[in-house]
Amino acid sequence: MSQRRVVITGVGLVNALGLGARHCFEAMLDGVVGIDVIKSFDPSEFPCRIGGESPALQMSKIVPKSHRKAVKLMSRDIELAIVAADDAIRDAGLKSRGTHDGPVDIEPTRSGVNIGAGLICCDLVELGAAAVYAIEDGRFSLSKWGREGMEYLTPLWLLKYLPNMLNCHISIVHDLQGPNNCITCAETSGLLSVGEAHHTIAQGKADVMVAGGAECKVNPMALMRQCMIHRVSTHYNDQPRAGYRPFDRDADGMVVGEGGGIVILEELEHARRRGAKIYAEVTGFGASNNFSLDFIQPEEQATGISIAIRKALHHAGVQPEDIDLVVPHGVAVAGHDRAEARALNTALGDNVRKIPLL
């Protein structure tokens, strides 16, 4: 049985450059840099004090009245995903229950969601207030936390921080009753979700899929975690706009940020029948593993990344010389950047020197 062709018909974005894919694109053309000193909390005691913060989100304008009470149970990560999904669905020209009060043109049972999520960090105000009641002899006690501390958390507290709640809320808001899944695998979560959604449509299990990822790393817990494993930039606190320097000899680490990127994947003939604009076709996808024994560092020879690239090329039926552009991860951590550059050279050969990197 031949695989169905899958195209991208909608793009939704929210990040430090603004709300909406169109706004973000215009900001990039204008040379806007979204990195600045963190303002959502006091970062003065952190080794890294810069980040990319998204604008304020007005959820009451995005979430329909029928679901508005649920906003109280949305972490920042969930909100980012919902805003990006709304932008993508509208950009695709689709009418869902979440974007229109009148008739919709999405077949609920043939439309699904696959969203990548990160490590959703808790609100320290909520967690700290409860943790006070778990102190015993001046130290935090897990047993006392279980007996008393947890009683001071709202019963629905956990629903704000489960990774699968990103796709759950999107599917409820837009009444998408088809395949529904969440992938949590650090920075690769969003791309893995797009790959799985592509396979879902190609295999005939859905006609439309909302796919991508969202995460907020501009959070005290998330930032401290990155500081403790020495992945963040610490030398550019007084020059925040110069802090993120992937594949640069002066790079000293990543810069945390927050945002969401969602695409609408659609079966080709389904898109053509409704006259949708088509941005691109997804022709190949590949995935592998990090073979390093140290989860913080990539495997030195970058074997896993090379395998993923080769799998994608094979799936698409193309050769390295057919590639016109590579968009690398470029995390600006020396070991990671070296591994990625090595993988590109291994998988693409001499052609890599001719291919632009964005």
Count of CB atoms situated within 10 Å of the CB of 121: 22
Burial of 343 (0-12, 13-18, 19+ CB in 10 A): buried
Which one, of 222, 186, 192, 195, lies nearest residue 298 by Cα? 186
Nearest-angstrom CA–CA distance, 117 and 299: 23
Digitized pLDDT (tens) for each residue of the chain, 358 residues in all: 568 999 999 999 999 999 999 999 999 999 999 999 999 999 999 999 999 999 999 998 899 998 999 999 999 999 999 999 999 999 999 999 999 888 999 999 999 999 999 989 988 888 888 999 999 999 999 999 999 999 999 888 889 999 999 999 999 999 999 999 999 998 999 999 999 999 999 999 999 999 999 999 999 999 999 999 999 999 999 999 999 999 999 999 999 999 999 999 999 999 999 999 999 999 999 999 988 888 788 888 899 999 999 999 999 999 999 999 999 999 999 999 999 999 999 999 999 999 998 8
Alpha helices in the chain (DSSP H): 21-29, 76-91, 124-131, 142-147, 165-174, 189-202, 220-228, 268-273, 303-316, 334-348
Cβ neighbors of 358 (< 8 A, separation 6 or more) are: 325, 326, 327
Please give the C-alpha separations between residue 75 and each of 86, 152, 160, 168, 247, in angstroms, as whole numbers: 17, 18, 5, 13, 33
Cβ–Cβ < 8 Å for 174, 97: yes
DSSP 95-150: --TTT-SS-----GGGEEEEEEE---PPPHHHHHHHHGGGEETTEE-HHHHHHTGG
Please give the C-alpha separations between residue 218 and each of 2, 35, 113, 183, 226, in angstroms, as whole numbers: 44, 11, 25, 21, 11
Burial of 309 (0-12, 13-18, 19+ CB in 10 A): buried
Instruction: Show contacts of 302-306: CB within 8 Å, 24+ apart.
Output: 302/339, 302/340, 302/342, 302/343, 302/346, 305/339, 305/340, 305/343, 305/347, 306/343, 306/346, 306/347
Which one, of 317, 314, 310, lies nearest residue 348 by Cα? 310
Nearest-angstrom CA–CA distance, 320 and 313: 7
pLDDT of amino acid 129: 84
The two three-digit tokens of residue 110, written as one number: 């043939």
Nearest-angstrom CA–CA distance, 82 and 77: 9
Alpha-carbon 357 to chain mean position: 21
